[in-house]
Amino acid sequence: MVHLRVVTALLTALFSPLRVDAAQPGPSASLHYRGLFPGEVILVAVERQSPAKAPSGTLDGTPLDFLRVSSGTYLALAGLDLETSTGTHRVDLRLESARGVPTYWGADLDVREKKFPSEKLKVEQNFVTPNPADEARADRELARLNALFSAPASGPLFEGNFVSPIPKAVSARFGERRVFNGVPRAPHTGADLRAAAGTPVHAPSGGRVLLAESLFFQGKTVLLDHGGGAFSYYCHLSKITVKPGERVKRGALLGLVGATGRVTGPHLHWAVRLRKARVDPYSLVAIDLNRWLAPRR
């Protein structure tokens, strides 16, 4: 079992024109993560925040997307991108009590170095040096994906803890530095799940289908929006079983494992994006969302 590290702190108001009611303590914040390395997910949880106004904050100056869940807690999923530099990174929050009194909180994250392996792969040459038409297509598809990742955040669509889309599948290669046909390429931004062609691929949590079609490099692909700026996608499928706009629950069939696009054989490429941050999908699986979703008594 993965044990998450937790950073918690009670907040002290910078100014408080009203006397604090001991029966109604002010808001508090906590950070939850598997580790402080490039490619990891950070969960920011805010309790006892005013229900009239969501908290606001940033990670290294990038705004956080807060969602109010059934327990009354506000949650934001943020990511340390795969190429995040080592050293100190900063979370800053502005919170507000039920009486409208603002409080401010901050925490430093000491991100440590992580060594990623390198692998040489042999693929069809057109996926290394595409012809002009294919290169233009790939550029259009990348711009379209980036536009989806940058769109205004939707409300919470996830359903509790995330799980693997192929239970018990062996996974490898997140962050791996790849060389295709002797040409170095960008690092691998997802997890490759080893599975035979035709293996069912299931939604790891609730979401909405944003894209379900064939892309040049990714092959047949499904992209899910989980809310709050969290997205996951599933590549190289042999068959897609969902349609854009469809709302899916955890466990819903998304498609079947295949070998479409730039591949060396059948497998599932599973990737997660938290806005622009490229993170290890299993760092999201390690986050205990269940503890925050049940209504508080």
pLDDT tens, position by position, 70-87: 888 999 999 999 889 999
- Residue 237: the pLDDT is 97
- Token pair listed for 39: 């490619």
Q: List the chain domain ranges.
A: 5-114, 118-282
Q: Count CB neighbours of 117 within 10 A.
A: 11
CA distance 207 to 200: 18
CB 250 within 8 A of CB 159: yes
Which stretch of DSSP H or E encloses residue 144?
Answer: helix 132-150
Q: What element of type H or E holds 285?
A: helix 281-285
- In the prediction, which pLDDT does 184 show? 39
In angstroms, rounded to a whole number, what is the distance separating the alpha carbons of residues 294 and 297?
Answer: 9
What is 5-114's CATH number, 3.40.1010.20, 3.40.50.1100, 3.40.50.300, 2.60.40.1590?
2.60.40.1590
Please state, in angstroms and rounded to a whole number, the distance separating the CA atoms of residues 268 and 199. 9
Say what the pLDDT of residue 296 is. Answer: 56
Name residue, tokens 């799980």: 163
And the tokens for 111? Answer: 């991100």
48 in Cβ contact with 28 (< 8 Å): yes
Residue 164 · residue 285 · CB < 8 Å? yes
Per-residue pLDDT of the chain (297 residues; tens, 9 = 90+): 444 555 543 333 332 333 334 456 789 999 999 999 999 999 999 999 998 899 999 999 999 999 999 888 999 999 999 889 999 999 999 999 988 899 999 999 999 988 765 554 454 655 457 788 988 998 999 899 999 988 888 888 998 999 999 998 877 677 565 444 443 355 767 888 999 999 999 999 999 999 999 999 889 999 999 999 999 999 999 999 999 999 999 999 999 999 998 777 899 999 999 988 999 999 999 999 999 887 655
DSSP code for 36: S
CATH superfamily to which 118-282 belongs: Glucose Permease (Domain IIA) (2.70.70.10)
Q: Residues near 194 by Cβ (< 8 Å), separated by ≥ 6?
A: 169, 170, 171, 172, 267
Residue % of the chain over a pLDDT of 90:
60
CB atoms within 10 A of CB 8: 12
Locus of tokens 């069939």: 253
Do the domains at 5-114 and 118-282 have one common CATH topology?
no
